[in-house]
Structure formats: structure tokens, C-alpha cells
């Protein structure tokens, strides 16, 4: 489990394809402090297991399913990525609970300056958009952010300069892909209610029961 508060940006050293899967080798420093083989590190919003380590790098195997549902397969040597170590129970949760299990890939529609920051509009696939609500939480490439607004094709977020400086979202542009993980709560609510309510779960039903 993660919080969506990025600890550092790492750099891709290699993406080694092995059949339908791959091994990702990343340069890093801060997230390696206290890390041992078998630990989890969130890479652009994807929970990966450390399978090899060096002084300033680590490697993680990426399953075929992970390559299918995320944009990790698009990474090339030199690309920067957002990194976060797994949550410790004693740590403050500054963002929201992020599982590192990506729901789908979105695409930046527009990025424009707004005040001292930026408003970013992201198109999202239907299976992700259904769980996104205004003022709710969303993980974008592993970054915990608040949804500013939602439309028929996607949603928007407001990015402050601090986030732009410390994460890859600062230099991403229109047309770039991003990994999306919607808030866990909505998915659990839908699953629990689906088996109890005839006809499934609708937005009207969620509003009636105080979930939207």
C-alpha cells in the first residue's frame, strides 16, 4: 500500500523484454534507503517487487498483465519515473490509500497554466471514469491528486508548482499517457452493493445512500 506522495524521480536504465514480460532496471537513491530484496516500490503508480539491487539502482520484473494495463512498456532508457516506497504503518498518510494496481491508461488532453499552477485535463477509459467523482481522489502515475471536475470523456486536476517540480507530471504534455488508479472505496462499495441490490448499482442509488 502507498500514499501517492512521490519520494523521488528515478531514471530508467533499461527495459529488458523477455517474451511477453519484461525486467525494468531503474536508477534511484532515496527509495533504496532501507530497501531489501522483496520489498515493494511504486513506479509510476505500479506496485513492483525489487528482485535485484545495486548501490544506485534496482530491478523489478514486470508481468505481461502489468504491461497490458499500464504504460510501463512505453518506457525507454533515460525516461524519468515517479518512485515511492511502500507505506509504513507509523507514517502519515499525506495523500490517499493507493494500492499500486493500475486500473487503466489515460491520456493528457490539455495542459494549461492557471494562476501559479496548471490545470490538466485527462481523458480516461470508461472502466476508470465510472469511479471518478468531483473532489474525489485519483492516482496519476502514482501521484495522489484531487479531482477538480469531471466530464463525459475524462476529468481535470489542478497541479501546484511543488507537484510539478517533484514529479513527472511537471514535464508531461498533451498527448502523453498516464497510469490511472481510481479510489479504492468506490470499487468496494460497488462490489458490495451489486450482490444485494436488484438491477445493480446506479449513480442515483449511490447518491441516495450517501456515497456520491
Q: Of 146, 162, 174, 202, which residue is the catalytic one? A: 146
For residue 188, the model assigns a pLDDT of 82
Angstrom distance (rounded) from CA 174 to CA 149 = 18
User: What integer best gives the mean pLDDT of the chain?
Assistant: 92
For residue 209, the model assigns a pLDDT of 73
pLDDT band at 199; cut points 50, 70, 90: low
- Partnered with residue 31 across adjacent β-strands are none
pLDDT tens by residue, 12-46: 999 999 899 999 999 999 999 999 999 999 999 99
For residue 197, pLDDT beyond 90: no
Q: Of 14, 101, 158, 164, which residue is the catalytic one? A: 101
- Are 73 and 141 part of one and the same domain? no
Residue ranges making up the domain that contains 165? 104-189
> 186: which residues sit within 8 A by CB, 6+ positions away?
131, 133, 136, 211
CATH number for 66:
2.40.30.20
Would you call 177 a catalytic residue per the annotation? no
Asked whether residue 58 is domain-assigned, the answer is yes
The alpha carbon torsion through 177, 184, 44, 111 (nearest 10 deg) reads 40
Q: Of 40, 156, 163, 167, which residue is the catalytic one? A: 40
- Partnered with residue 18 across adjacent β-strands are 21
- Are 110 and 65 part of one and the same domain? no
Q: Of 49, 79, 86, 164, which residue is the catalytic one? A: 49
pLDDT band at 155; cut points 50, 70, 90: very high
Would you call 162 a catalytic residue per the annotation? no
184 three-class SS: helix
Would you call 40 a catalytic residue per the annotation? yes
Would you call 47 a catalytic residue per the annotation? yes
- Are 73 and 140 part of one and the same domain? no
Would you call 63 a catalytic residue per the annotation? yes
Would you call 155 a catalytic residue per the annotation? no
- CA 65 to each of CA 6, 62, 68, 125, 162: distance values in angstroms, whole numbers, following the listed order: 24, 8, 5, 17, 33
Q: Of 22, 28, 42, 47, which residue is the catalytic one? A: 47
Tally of domains in the chain: 2
Asked whether residue 51 is domain-assigned, the answer is yes
For residue 198, the model assigns a pLDDT of 56
For residue 67, the model assigns a pLDDT of 96
pLDDT band at 187; cut points 50, 70, 90: confident
For residue 141, the model assigns a pLDDT of 98
91 three-class SS: coil
Would you call 146 a catalytic residue per the annotation? yes
pLDDT band at 200; cut points 50, 70, 90: low
Share of the chain above pLDDT 90, in %: 79
- Are 46 and 109 part of one and the same domain? no
- Are 126 and 170 part of one and the same domain? yes
Amino acid at each position: 500500500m502507498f500514499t501517492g506522495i512521490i519520494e523521488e524521480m528515478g531514471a530508467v536504465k533499461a527495459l529488458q523484454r523477455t517474451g511477453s514480460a519484461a525486467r525494468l532496471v531503474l536508477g534511484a537513491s532515496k527509495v533504496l534507503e532501507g530497501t531489501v530484496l522483496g520489498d515493494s516500490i511504486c513506479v509510476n503508480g505500479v506496485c513492483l517487487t525489487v528482485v535485484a539491487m545495486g548501490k544506485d539502482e534496482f530491478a523489478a520484473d514486470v508481468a505481461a498483465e502489468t504491461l497490458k494495463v499500464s504504460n510501463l512498456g512505453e518506457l525507454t532508457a533515460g525516461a524519468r519515473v515517479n518512485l515511492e516506497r511502500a507505506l509504513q504503518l507509523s507514517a502519515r498518510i499525506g495523500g490517499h490509500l493507493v494500492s499500486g494496481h493500475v486500473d487503466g491508461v489515460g491520456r493528457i488532453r490539455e495542459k494549461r497554466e492557471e494562476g501559479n499552477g496548471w490545470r490538466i485535463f485527462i481523458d480516461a477509459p470508461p472502466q476508470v471514469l465510472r469511479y471518478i467523482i468531483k473532489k474525489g481522489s485519483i492516482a496519476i502515475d502514482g501521484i495522489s491528486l484531487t479531482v477538480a471536475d469531471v466530464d463525459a470523456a475524462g476529468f481535470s486536476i489542478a497541479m501546484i508548482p511543488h507537484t510539478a517540480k517533484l514529479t513527472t507530471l511537471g514535464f508531461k504534455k498533451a498527448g502523453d499517457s498516464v497510469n490511472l488508479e481510481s479510489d479504492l472505496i468506490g470499487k468496494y462499495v460497488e462490489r458490495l452493493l451489486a450482490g444485494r441490490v436488484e438491477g445493480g448499482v446506479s449513480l442515483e442509488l449511490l447518491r441516495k445512500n450517501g456515497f456520491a
